Amino acid sequence: MSVSENWVVYIILCSDGTLYTGITNNLEKRLLAHSLGTGAKYTRGRGPFEVLYQENVSNKNNALSRESQIKKFTKIKKYSLIRKKK
């Protein structure tokens, strides 16, 4: 498969103040899925959402690794990452 895929690691702020970290190769479509309740189980009923962070990643494996790394961060460290990106 020689198709170039662009992946995004993202952090969204849920309406209850929690943060959700995920990956996708189509952020707009994924956010719509979250809003419709067909995205991640965690985000169901927690909308509306605000994208606080997005990081472009070269491929799915790297995106999965980066997502895993960020999910282990404390909330404070996640907000620090978000501030650095802005």
pLDDT, one tens digit per residue, over 13-27 is 999 999 999 999 999
**More confident of the two residues 2 and 16:** 16
Query: Which pLDDT value is given to residue 86?
Result: 66
7-85: which CATH topology?
Answer: GIY-YIG endonuclease (3.40.1440)
> How do residues 27-68 score in pLDDT, each as one tens digit?
999 999 999 999 999 999 999 999 999 999 999 999 999 999
Enter the pTM of the model. 0.91
The alpha carbon torsion through 27, 33, 35, 36 (nearest 10 deg) reads: 160
- 85 falls in which pLDDT band (50, 70, 90)? confident
Tell me the torsion sign for CA atoms 74, 76, 80, 82.
Answer: positive
